[in-house]
Amino acid sequence: MIKRRLTNSEQPKGRSLWQDGLKRLGRRKLAMVCFAVIVLYFLLAGFIYFAELIDWQVGPIRWQEEVGGAYEGPSSQNKFGTDIFGQSVLRKTLYGAKISITVALCASFISIVIGVPLGTIAGYYRGVVDEIIVWVYSTLSSIPYILLILAFAVVLRDKTLFGFKLTGITSVYLAIGLTSWVGLCRLIRGEVIKHKEREYVLAAKSYGCSGARIIFRHLLPNVFHLIIIDFSLRFVAFIHAEVILSFLGLGEATRPSWGVMINDARIELSRGVWWQMVAATAAIFFISLALNIFGDALRDAIDPRLRKAA
């Protein structure tokens, strides 16, 4: 048999880390179902923003409307019953998705914007800069997380900073974002320290690449998957934090939020009014479950070294 060289088009295509990871992820049916659930929540939040923007009076936007008497149980007309003001619980729950997703997204954004640059700088330049950054995050992480968030939320609430009045959810996502970059920063710093000594970085250095170029062109793309994994796993914690802050009266005050709904349910339960409680719990449960499962699957798919013993 004569061996012949494979032509270019016949050669098996190499796959990048991302292609490979996403392909592996795609094979997991459960993870894909969870991804669909997450997308659904995001679409819902986006849809509510869109509808508010063009003033389109669909159901969730009209949550303020009285659709029945106070505390009417679930019926064919109001699927999840009504609350004390006769407002539809279903509409409030749907609207709550917007608040939760907004808070979690903004908080993630803030923590990535702070955590990633600081972690990279500390890991790449070391020295005094590193020590200062490590000191800052050691200080922050020595205060119990929930207490730190509460302290930030209490102080920032209704404050005017740089001309912005921090009301409702703004102070919530600022509080969560400003306190939760620590874990990400620590992770990125450790990874950058490891990568700094690898051949590809040394090669780039020997070509005379500047520090900024090495960081942006070489280091960041190689630690980027960690940011995505961290983001997907942390999103759940942010949603739960928002619920607790709203419950404690530090969050959204005028619009429906899942935490406020659970707070209302405290009094309602003793009257046998369970639907508001169940609706809010179910809303939180499904997104958390989906994020938990999807986050784990994502980590397994794109970072096999971190794979948990399955």
Partner 1 sequence: MTTYIIRRLLYTIPIVLGVLLLTFVLFTVVGGDVSIEIAGKNATPETIEEIREEYGLNKPLFLSWDSQFINHFKSALTFDFGRARDRELVVDKIKRGVWPSLALTVPMFFGVLIISVSLALVVAFVRGSAWDVFAVVVCVAGMSIPYLSFILLGQYFFAYKLGLFPIFFSPDLSMAEYVALPVLIGIVTGLGANVRFYRTVMLDEIRSDYVRTAFAKGLDARRVLFKHVLKNAMIPIITRVVLAIPFLFLGSLLLERFFGIPGLGYLMIEAIGSRDYFVINAMTYISAILFVIFNVITDICYGLVDPRISFD
| Number of residues located near partner 1, criterion CB under 8 A | 46
Please report, as residue ranges, which positions from 2 to 41 form the binding site for partner 1 (by CB under 8 A).
Answer: none
Torsional sign, CA 26, 27, 31, 34: positive
Does position 250 interact with partner 1 (CB under 8 A)? The reply is yes
| Ordered DSSP codes for 237-273 | HHHHHHHHHHHTTSS-SSS--HHHHHHHHHHHGGGT-
Rounded Cα–Cα distance for residues 207 and 157 (Å): 51
Does position 244 interact with partner 1 (CB under 8 A)? The reply is yes
Instruction: State how far the alpha carbon of 25 is from the alpha carbons of 130, 206, 222, 228, 234, in Å.
Output: 36, 37, 19, 14, 19
- Looking at the chain, which runs of residues are DSSP E strands? 160-161, 164-165
Task: Find the angle CA(73)-CA(74)-CA(76) to the nearest 5 degrees.
Answer: 130
At its nearest, how many Å lie between partner 1 and the CB of residue 117?
20
Q: Which of 143, 203, 253, 306 binds partner 1 (CB under 8 A)?
A: 143
Q: Which of 36, 84, 147, 253 binds partner 1 (CB under 8 A)?
A: 147
Please report, as residue ranges, which positions from 269 to 288 form the binding site for partner 1 (by CB under 8 A).
Answer: 269-270, 277, 280-281, 284-286, 288
Does position 305 interact with partner 1 (CB under 8 A)? The reply is no
3-state secondary structure of 165: strand
The 85-124 site mask, x for binding partner 1 (CB under 8 A), equals ----------------------------------------
CB neighbourhood size of 72 (10 A): 18
> At a CB cut-off of 8 Å and minimum separation 6, what does 72 contact?
78, 81, 82, 86
- Give the nearer residue to partner 1 in terms of CB position, either 167 or 222: 167
The 159-198 site mask, x for binding partner 1 (CB under 8 A), equals x-x-------------------------------------
Q: Which of 22, 156, 204, 233 binds partner 1 (CB under 8 A)?
A: 156
Q: Which of 249, 253, 304, 306 binds partner 1 (CB under 8 A)?
A: 249
Does position 233 interact with partner 1 (CB under 8 A)? The reply is no
Show the tokens assigned to 52.
Answer: 């508010």
Rounded Cα–Cα distance for residues 296 and 285 (Å): 17
DSSP at 181:
S
- The residues binding partner 1 (CB under 8 A) are 135-136, 138-140, 142-144, 146-148, 150-152, 154-156, 159, 161, 236, 240, 243-244, 247-250, 258-259, 262, 265-266, 269-270, 277, 280-281, 284-286, 288-289, 292-293, 308-309
